[in-house]
Structure formats: C-alpha cells, structure tokens
Structure 1
Amino acid sequence: MTSDPANTSIAPAITLDDLPLRDDLRGQTPYGAPQMAVPVALNVNENTHPVPDEVADDIADAVSRALREVNRYPDREFTELREGFAAYLGHGLVAEQIWAANGSNEVLQHVLQAFAGPGRTAFGFAPTYSMYRLLARGVGSAWLTGTPGPGFELDPEDAARQVAEARPDIVFLCAPNNPTGTPLSLDVVEAVYEATDGIVIVDEAYREFAPRDEPSALTLLDGRPRLAVSRTMSKAFAFAGARVGYLAADPAFVDALRLVRLPYHLSALTQAAASAALRHADTMLRTVDEIVEQRDRMSATLEALGYSVYRSWSNFVLFGGVTDPSRTWAALRDRGILVRDVGIPGHLRVTAGTEEETTAFLEALAEIGN
C-alpha cells in the first residue's frame, strides 16, 4: 500500500528557543572562524606548512599498527604519550606531571570542570582567547575580565592588583597572548600566583615562536601546586587536524583532572599519531624559524604601509589603523585571502604563512589600501 501525499504532514521546524536549553546559553552563538575554500587561509593561526613526508610516513605506520588492536580500549593513562611530552618539555618533568586531551581546549575544559563550576569565577585580561570565556560558561562559571596596559601588555603589580580585587577561582594568562601576540613576562605569572588562592593557567600555545632565550613558565612549576602550563601540538607541530593538547603541573593537579575526564578520552589512534610526531620533534619544528621570519617581515611591511603593529611572539600579527576592518576583510577574501576580524575596533589579525602566502597577503593589502 502506498501512502497518500495529500495526507502527509511535515512537522514544523523548531529552533533553539523551542528546546529546554539552559537559560545562560540562550542567545549565544557557537565559537568558530569562517571556513572557506580559499588559496591563502591565514585566519586561524595554523602552521600552513605541510607535515614532512618522512614524518607523515612514520605517523601513518604508527596509526596502522594501532589499528590492528583498535578492537580493544586504548591505554587509559596514555603512558607513552605522557612520557614523550615530558621528554620534549624537559625541565626535569616526569610523566606524572603531564596531562593530555583532544586539543588544548579539552585540556582547559578538564581544568575548569575540576576547579570551576557553578558559583565559581574565571578571570582573564581582555582581549584574550575567546574560548576561555566560552569554556567557563560551559561549566556554569562567571567570566571576569581585567584590563591590560599600553600595547595590550601586562604590568606585574597592576595585574596582581586586579586579580586580588576580583578574587577568581581560576586565572587564565595567555603567553604570548592571543589575539594580540604580545609577550607575557614571568614576573606577571609570579605576581598573579601570589595574588590568588585559586588556579593559575599559563597558556603557552604559541610558546615555540617566542625567542628561544626567553624562559618558559615551566620554570615556575616547582613549589607552585596551583600553577599549570598548557601547550598544544596544533601550532608549531603543524598538527591542528590531529587535535592534541597537553599541560604540565604538579602530580596532584593532574590527579584532579582524572576525576572529570571521560573514560579512554584519548583514542589509540590519536596516541599513536602524537607519539610518532613527538619522535620527530626536531623535524616538525624546522618550520618555526621560517614562520618567525615571515612574521617579522609581515610586521615590518605592515608598518611601512602605515599600520600600527603590536610586538608579537606568536605566529601571527595583530595590526591596527584599519579604517574599516569589515571592508578590508571582505576585499582580501575576494582576492582569495582569509584573515581574522577579532572584534577589536580598527584591527585585523593575520597568520604568518609560507613566504608565498605572506607575499600574497602583503601585495593584496597594499593594493586594497586603507
């Protein structure tokens, strides 16, 4: 028997407003930058250099071997990977001080799940990485913002004062900062840590692009059990699509994260791929010097074009003096180039890509004018 199309009714489409969504999520929009198929994508701070063939082959072999046992659950403690991260970071760190997850966002989410939540607060100096606020909201915590000094940089005494007044449960310090690229001195980390009884997270996602003679916040971990330093493989390691982030902290801090993680949260394939990439750290990081060269070239050329450029220790450049960011963004897009409008009036942010990508961006911007 066939159905009668005349008797077929289609249920009306519903919206978020029709669902019993949490009140604090109503009216919100998901995080994300525009995704478009363009020749030059310089909008999400990826390492635009491909993974070297010899490394890709080794990763593929490691994943292939892991596939033979994918019927079994993975190592819940991802022991080999933690040992690899500890060796890579150095500073006398051991596996018991390492945590990892599916991207540094999930690492930070674990921290918030363990130490934040309803009735608690998280704090950051705006502008900073917008996911901090979203992650805090996701666990029901209030988000508090502090104010940086000139050039978006932080003064230790002023930063500590603001944190002491806000009395947050968690403080995010982005070093170097995203979206500004500005460096963060260890004096700020020390001062903020002393100003709070809460957790202090130093997000070093772009650490590999900073001057090599500048110390990492990893040097401050000893004797500071409320301090954690997070990293990612997405940037310098050109591993954004693999989604692997990690942190270093006191072993007790790491134990706290076990209380909130999902069982077997890192797949066997992810563990195999990341461990293989770490074995080739020197090769994977060879592009860093070239990226820094293009970043500095970009900064110098932007200044010559009349824009204001902020000091950057990252793989991107924030530049101001843009008369109409929306118009400039659209004009670059029409020329096949994506940059990021981060919502700071008069500013745009651009990733340092390959030499060819950087040239394409600079030539297009000079053609567009301001």
Structure 2
Amino acid sequence: MSSDMKEITALRLTLLANGYAPLASIDKLCVLPNWPRSPVDEALITRRWARMRRYTATGIRVENGLAVIDLDVDNVPAMAELAERLKGILPGAFLLCRHGKGAKIALFVRTAEPFKRICSKRWLKPGDTAEGGAHGAEIFGGASARYFGAFGWHTLDRIKYRWAGNSPADTPLDRLPVFTKKQFFAAIDAIECILRRRGWQVVERSVGGENVAHRVHDLVEGMAFECNDGVTRTLSELQEMARLDAVQGLRCSASWLEGPTAKRTDRCLIGHTATGQLTVVENDSGVTHMVKTDIDDIIAEKLRRLAAGKPTALDIINEEWRRRDRARAGKRK
C-alpha cells in the first residue's frame, strides 16, 4: 500500500470511529455498488478500499441523525449575508463548514427527526440566464440515499474540498448541533427572502418545500443529448445505458430542451429510476424529465375531457361494464 493510500485509509477509519459512514469515491462521484445500503466497517475500509487506488476521495453518507445543509449559492456577497442570517436561526451550524467549488458551502449538522429533502426554489442573479447557473439551498435529513464529498478532489478541474477549521476527522457526530425541521424551514425561508430582496429572480418551474419532485414525461425520439464526455447520444442510447446502470457521472447540456444556445454540458444530470427508467434532471429548475409514452397521451386527454365536463373513452367503457353488471343482476332475480 502506498503512503498516500495509508493516509486515506487512516482518515476513513477515523471518520468511522467518529460515528460517520465514509464512502470511497472518485472525486465527488461515488460509484460503489449498492452504496446507499452497504454497511461500512473496518474490514471493508482496510481490506477492500485500501486496494482501490483510483478511489482517493472520501464522501460521507447522510445517516444516523446527520443532516447536511447544501448552500448552492455561488456569489460571495450573497453568501456572506446568508451566513450571517443563518447563524441566528441555526446556532452552531457552522461548526463543520465544508467549502467546495466557488463560494458554495455545506454545513454538517444533526436533525431531530429524519426527513428526505427540504429545498428552496432555484434563483438567478439579475442579468443571468439558466445557462449561467442557478442558485439555491437544499437540506438532506437522512431518510433517503444521499452522500456528500468530504475529503480529496471535488472535480476533475482539480479543486479540493476544504474545511473551515473543524472537520469530521476531528469532530464526532454526537458533538454536532441538533435542529428541528421547523428550524430548517425557517432557514430556507430566510434564504429566499434575502435572494428576493437582492433582486434575484425565481427560475421558471422551480419549486421549494419538502420532498418536492416535479416530473414531466417529454423525452421523445429525435432528441440529441450532448454529454460531458464529448459524445452526443440519442434517446435510445441513453435509455439502454440507464437500463444497464451505466450513466454514473454522465451529464448533458440542455440543448435538447432549449436549442443550440444551451452549451453547458454539466447542466443536466442523467440517471435512472429504481426500475431502470431514464431520467434527465435539469438542475436549474429541478425538473426531472422522463420518456414520453402512449399512456401519457391517454391520461392527458382524459384530464382535458374531464376538465371540459365531457365523458372520456374510459368513462364510456366503465359505464358499459356497469350496465352489463346491472343486466346480469336483474336476470338472476
């Protein structure tokens, strides 16, 4: 084992002893099989991960009461104002403050009760477009699979995670401050109030709240997806990769949605559901796009006819079955 891997292994053992669940990662990406549920113990760290020389970064899984406040606001003046306000709402929350890319930070705290996700709307600075990147905040409470990069390289552009003073390597989990969901919601409200007062605009279709997930079924054949590995793929190709669980770390531009002016190939996250169905998440709005199917058209038509007070084909079929049931019941009498 190299001296670097010995140091990384020692760090992961320390994190484990401090009550955290470390995960071996490649930059910010964790591609370990079954990482959301696999137990982490000393044997895994010292016998398996120590031999995985490409996995030099370390993440931390959000569990066992851990919560992470992800302040995705890449603007120094706005972040300074947000930090000052949050210190009053969440006393002690900056005990573990992780810096990543730009002005963005993540605060590692604890929650009084598990929850999946509480988030703000997505916001744009005055004069910016979605292509320039949106801003917002998310809080993850351990009730769904999530991990955060903590040590090592953040991305391939060679930015390292850094901690402002304390880190999970010297601060056990049980020393972190505990907050309620009410306090977390108050923090989100304060963040949106500050951004609104600074003249920022809400990204169209973005929503805030708890466990919000906006899905639309609008991916169709003929779309082309310009990916961050330099390859432009068809919808069928992405569907097959999703089915084979081969989309880890893959992103694409929003040109399939907005046209050729959308060029940032890190803007949309390509993934899949638990059943292997393709998902494309447009990060700025938070909308998850999925493949359009015939049933989507049927449902849409039914909703349109219901809104107009007209019977749908399904209504007519159901009424015919009810008529036949009544007729059979009458014969039995």
TM-score under structure 2 length normalisation: 0.28
TM-score under structure 1 length normalisation: 0.26
**Bigger helix share:** 1
Greater relative CO (CA pairs within 8 A, separation 6+): 1
**Bigger strand share:** 2
